[in-house]
């Protein structure tokens, strides 16, 4: 009996190792994430699939972040809490004051160019959210499609603990396969 079981186990070991490796990579390193909605147009389209780098938490201004957001939805007459993953661009960091005046971004009263935006952003000031500056461990995020984006202007600042990682690589559709431009 031992002679029959041992070859089968030896044959299964590589498959088990492959499955374990894939699970570990998807859990801790990289995994696909789907863009849901039009808030990141024209950079991404609804349904694009990106490669999420879970290990990357050292991001810079205008990097694309993926973060968790909890919200309440009414379903079957009951309020249900759901968690969604959103894809947005990081605009403001802790200690900064963010404002939009006449369609231009100002960080700590200094104008910052946004080369990826092809539309005018409505005037906004961080004071509208009740902050003079962004608190430690929080970030201000926005979609690239400023007129059709639920972002920090609407739901507030994103806590660092909710940031899953960054993305700069499209894996689907294949016509867009590759690294996105970095700003």
Backbone φ and ψ for 153, nearest 5 degrees, come out as: -65, -30
CA gap 180, 1 in Å, rounded: 57
CB 180 within 8 A of CB 168: yes
CB 90 within 8 A of CB 62: yes
Tokens representing 70 are 């909890």
Give pairs for 108-113: CB < 8 Å, separation 24+.
112/61
Specify whether 181 is catalytic. Answer: no
Specify whether 175 is catalytic. Answer: no
Q: Which of 54, 88, 152, 167 is catalytic?
A: 88
Q: Which of 4, 10, 38, 39 is catalytic?
A: 39
Q: DSSP per residue over 108-167, as a string? A: TTEEE--TT--SPPPPEEGGGGT-SSPPTTEEEEE-SSGGG--SHHHH-PEEGGGEEEEE
SS3 label, residue 84: strand
Q: Which residues are catalytic?
A: 39, 88
């Amino acid at each position: 009996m031992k002679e029959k079981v041992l070859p089968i186990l030896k044959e299964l070991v590589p498959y088990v190792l492959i499955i374990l490796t894939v699970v570990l990579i998807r859990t801790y390193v990289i995994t696909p994430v789907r863009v849901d909605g039009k808030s990141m147009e024209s950079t991404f389209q609804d349904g694009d699939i990106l490669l999420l780098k879970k290990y990357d938490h050292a991001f810079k201004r205008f990097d694309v972040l993926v973060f968790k957001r909890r919200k309440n939805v009414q379903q079957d007459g009951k309020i249900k809490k759901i968690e969604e993953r959103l894809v947005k661009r990081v605009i403001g960091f802790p200690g900064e004051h963010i404002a939009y005046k006449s369609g231009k971004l100002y960080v700590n009263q200094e104008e910052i160019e946004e080369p990826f935006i092809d539309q005018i952003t409505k005037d906004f000031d961080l004071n509208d959210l009740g902050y003079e500056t962004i608190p430690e461990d929080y970030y201000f995020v926005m979609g690239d499609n400023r007129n059709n984006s639920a972002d920090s202007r609407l739901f507030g600042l994103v806590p660092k603990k909710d940031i899953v990682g960054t993305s700069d690589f499209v894996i689907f559709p294949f016509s867009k396969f590759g690294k996105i431009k970095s700003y």
